[in-house]
Amino acid sequence: MATLAEIRAKLAAQDNKKTGEGNSTFGDGATYPHWNIEEGALARLRFLPDADPKNPYFWVEKAMIKLPFNGIKGDPTSKQVIVQVPCIEMWPDMGMCPILSEVRPWFKDKDMEELGRKYWKKKSYLFQGFVRENTIAADKTPENPIRRFMISPQIFTLVKGALMDPELENLPTDYENGLDFTVLKTSKGGYSDYSTSKWARKESALTVDELEAIEKFGLFNLNDHLPKRPSAEDLVIMVEMFEASVNGEAYDADKWGKHFKPAGFKGSSDDTTESTATAPASVKGPSVAAANRVTPAAKVTTVTESTDDDVPFDDATEATAPVVVKPAATAAAGGSRAEDILAMIRNRQKSA
């Protein structure tokens, strides 16, 4: 796990790069469905580090592309279905996403922009931690109280912004001096709104029960809970499905069912691969003393677990236009002081 200063440097470097380029519930109960909070209610969360020592953050980014189809081929009574496929830009070594490469030019035409947003990748961010205050009556804490949180871009902006506050001295995930994060749900323009969510002002230590849960169950390796990396064959199918979706065709289970399926669609008994991922169990977590330093790689125990990629976030908060790719500015070095990075960001904002 990186230090707070290193996280600030990486976040600032990402912002510099962007400036240079232009401007329901889960089956196993492990993922906490904060979107089911009643309007006006809240949930208080305590984020924990990623078990992967190579991840400098305490979250991982997820990017999915929704492909709508006009029903299912061979079923005249079926309604529109949506199949989610992973954007391969989650894996930098796989190169540019062929679907996004096709969609990018659409944003240059005002008549095509709406369609472009429809097929643009939808981002979310995977965290883990404890639910310290839960107002969802129907939600039951599983045996392993360490939950996963699929966070929308709107909430993530608040999480990220606080990390750049120079008055923040410790990582929010610190076992002894960390901070809780309160998710507050309101509504705006007919959509759920979480803009009033906030970090706690006072630090707090993990409880004895929470520390014992980490020792017993371990932390999740967050990357293991992202969608499965597409194979070359999967990639061909993804492009074929994208073209069929744009052309207004129906979902063809015989052609694509072994690779990607709509959520809840059973298909034939031979269809073994769904658009959801097989996720391994958590990794044994660090001790209290090791919580704030980089730990050696831990063993991963793999089990079969059903997950649901169709997180019900409002599209209005997710659909963002792509940026025009230009030569990126040189990123700030990872060893730069947080004060220097913040000054650079503020100077850039003043000149904008």
Structure tokens at 241: 């499905």
Question: Do 8 and 112 share a structural domain?
Answer: no
Does residue 242 surpass a pLDDT of 70?
Answer: yes
Question: Do 231 and 87 share a structural domain?
Answer: yes
pLDDT score at 5: 73
**Per residue in 280-303, pLDDT tens?**
455 554 443 344 333 333 332 222
Parallel, antiparallel, or unpaired for β 81-86 and 60-69? antiparallel
pLDDT score at 69: 96
**Per residue in 12-31, pLDDT tens?**
666 555 444 433 444 568 99
Question: Do 255 and 136 share a structural domain?
Answer: yes
pLDDT score at 277: 39
Question: Do 330 and 204 share a structural domain?
Answer: no
Question: Do 207 and 286 share a structural domain?
Answer: yes
Contact status, residue 58 vs residue 47, Cβ threshold 8 Å? yes
Question: Do 300 and 202 share a structural domain?
Answer: yes
CA 262/CA 306 separation, integer angstroms: 14
CA 173/CA 178 separation, integer angstroms: 5
Contact status, residue 275 vs residue 261, Cβ threshold 8 Å? yes
Question: Do 226 and 343 share a structural domain?
Answer: no
Number of structural domains found in the chain: 2
Question: Do 75 and 134 share a structural domain?
Answer: yes
Question: Do 3 and 78 share a structural domain?
Answer: no
Question: Do 112 and 253 share a structural domain?
Answer: yes
Structure tokens at 10: 């990486």
**Per residue in 27-66, pLDDT tens?**
568 999 999 999 999 999 999 999 999 999 999 999 999 9
Question: Do 177 and 317 share a structural domain?
Answer: yes
Residue range(s) defining the domain that contains residue 90: 32-322
Question: Do 261 and 183 share a structural domain?
Answer: yes
Does residue 270 surpass a pLDDT of 80?
Answer: no
> Residue 314's domain is classified under what CATH number?
3.90.198.10
The three state secondary structure string of the chain is: CCCHHHHHHHHHHHHHHHHHHCCCCCCCCCECCHHHCCCCCEEEEEECCCCCCCCCCCCEEEEEEEEEECCECCECCCCCEEEEEECHHHCHHHCCCHHHHHHHHHHHCHHHHHHHHHHCCEEEEEEEEEEEECCCCCCCCCCCCCEEEEECHHHHHHHHHHHCCCCCCCCCCCCCCECCEEEECEEECCEEECCCCEECCCCECCCHHHHHHHHHHCECCHHHHCCCCCCHHHHHHHHHHHHHHHCCCCECHHHHCCCCCCCCCCCCCCCCCCCCCECCCCECCCCCCCCCCCCCCCCCCCCCCECCCCCCCCHHHCCCCCCCCCCCCCCCCCCCCHHHHHHHHHHHHHHC
